[in-house]
């Protein structure tokens, strides 16, 4: 895994710069030559590891003959990235809070989000009651619950919602956390699954061990920036940007796509679980 201190906005800016360079049909070395800069500087810009200043953006815009509007947009993106606090892959409460801030920014600009849930319902689909149980004892629990519920806007907003695919192990549907809480949670999953941009896929127990059993994760994809993988554990959070790491998770998702039930079959299974819960209540 490659460690990184890249920020969400710096990452997005880097993707914009890379896309503009490629549209012009230039290699990094060729463009750097036009700008009279070392190509390693451009490499760091595109990876979000370094934020160009206004002079750098001016040189970039001139080298590609960008319009004033395009140049000013890049300058604004660079300013926003420079003002953003650094978020590092970290452990502990402080580190989790920092990475959560970065994750939220990534979710807000992602075009596609795919989650794999092995023990808990994905945070983007949790009800408030379920979230309280998942978060556990915390002096700021209501703030954390509100933040988690608010994140759902990225898939339910009217304008350009992210495409969302949720893979869940069948056992996630059968947790004994209280009849009312679980039934309400399952109904919410069904309602979200009815959205045109949302797909819920259940991985049946009959499949045995699958790539999902190695742990939960989320893949976030963007219009121009490289994809990112998010993983969260008891006291640590990590964002993977290394291409090999991201590709490994993409391969795992391809396997799950073949194993999981279709959205319609998944909805029927969830309905059966709700019926059984209500019958035995």
Q: Report phi then psi at 228, rounded to 5.
A: -135, 145
Q: Do 94 and 79 fall within a single domain?
A: no
Is 2 a domain residue? Answer: no
Percent of the chain with pLDDT over 70: 91
Q: Do 97 and 75 fall within a single domain?
A: no
Q: Helix, strand, or coil here: 226?
A: coil
- Whether the CB-CB separation of 170 and 202 falls below 8 Å is answered with yes
Position 7 scores a pLDDT of 64
Position 86 scores a pLDDT of 39
Per-residue pLDDT of 63-73, as tens digits, reads 999 999 999 99
Exposed (0-12), middle (13-18) or buried (19+): which is 11, by Cβ within 10 Å?
buried
Q: Which of 156, 69, 58, 63 is nearest to 107 (CA)?
A: 156
Position 244 scores a pLDDT of 83
CATH of the domain at 188: 3.30.870
Domain span including residue 27: 8-83
List all residues 6 or more positions away from 196 whose beta carbon is below 8 Å from its beta carbon: none
Q: Looking at per-residue confidence, does 82 or 149 come out higher?
A: 149
Determine the Cα angle at 42 with ends 41 and 46, to 5°.
120
CATH of the domain at 14: 1.10.260.40
pLDDT at 55 over 60: yes
Q: Report phi then psi at 6, rounded to 5.
A: -60, 145
Confidence band of 93 (pLDDT split at 50, 70, 90): low
Q: CA torsion angle for 125, 130, 131, 133 (degrees, to 10)?
A: -150
Q: Do 17 and 116 fall within a single domain?
A: no
User: What is the reported pTM?
Assistant: 0.72
Averaged pLDDT score across all residues of the chain = 88
Is 257 a domain residue? Answer: yes
Q: Do 250 and 232 fall within a single domain?
A: yes
Is 76 a domain residue? Answer: yes
Is 1 a domain residue? Answer: no
**Last residue within a domain, chosen from 52, 83, 114:** 83
Per-residue pLDDT of 114-153, as tens digits, reads 999 999 999 999 999 999 999 888 888 999 999 999 999 9
Q: Which of 97, 138, 127, 106 is nearest to 232 (CA)?
A: 97
Q: Looking at per-residue confidence, does 182 or 232 come out higher?
A: 182
pLDDT at 215 over 60: yes
d(CA 270, CA 247): 31
């Amino acid at each position: 895994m490659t460690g990184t201190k890249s920020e969400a906005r710096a990452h997005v800016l880097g993707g914009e710069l890379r896309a503009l360079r490629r549209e012009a049909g230039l290699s990094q070395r060729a463009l750097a030559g036009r700008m009279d800069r070392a190509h390693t500087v451009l490499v760091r810009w595109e990876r979000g590891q370094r934020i160009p200043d206004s002079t750098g953006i001016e040189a970039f815009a001139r080298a590609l003959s960008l319009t004033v509007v395009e140049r000013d947009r890049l300058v604004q993106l660079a300013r926003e990235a420079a003002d953003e606090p650094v978020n590092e892959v970290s452990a502990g409460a402080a580190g989790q809070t920092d990475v959560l801030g970065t994750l939220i920014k990534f979710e807000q600009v992602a075009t596609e989000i795919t989650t794999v849930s092995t023990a808990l319902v994905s945070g983007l689909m949790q009800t408030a009651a379920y979230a309280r149980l998942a978060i556990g004892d915390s002096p700021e629990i209501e703030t954390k619950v509100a933040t988690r519920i608010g994140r759902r806007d990225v898939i339910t907003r009217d304008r350009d919602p992210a495409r969302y695919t949720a893979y869940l192990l069948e056992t996630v549907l059968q947790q004994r956390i209280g009849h009312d809480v679980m039934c309400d949670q399952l109904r919410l999953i069904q309602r979200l699954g009815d959205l045109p941009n949302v797909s819920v896929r259940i991985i049946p127990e009959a499949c045995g061990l699958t790539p999902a059993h190695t742990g939960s994760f989320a893949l976030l994809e963007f219009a121009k920036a490289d994809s990112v993988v998010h993983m969260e554990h008891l006291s640590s959070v990590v964002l993977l940007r290394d291409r090999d790491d991201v590709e490994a998770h993409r391969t795992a998702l391809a396997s799950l796509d073949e194993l999981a039930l279709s959205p319609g079959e998944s909805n029927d299974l969830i309905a059966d679980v709700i019926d059984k819960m209500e019958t035995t209540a």
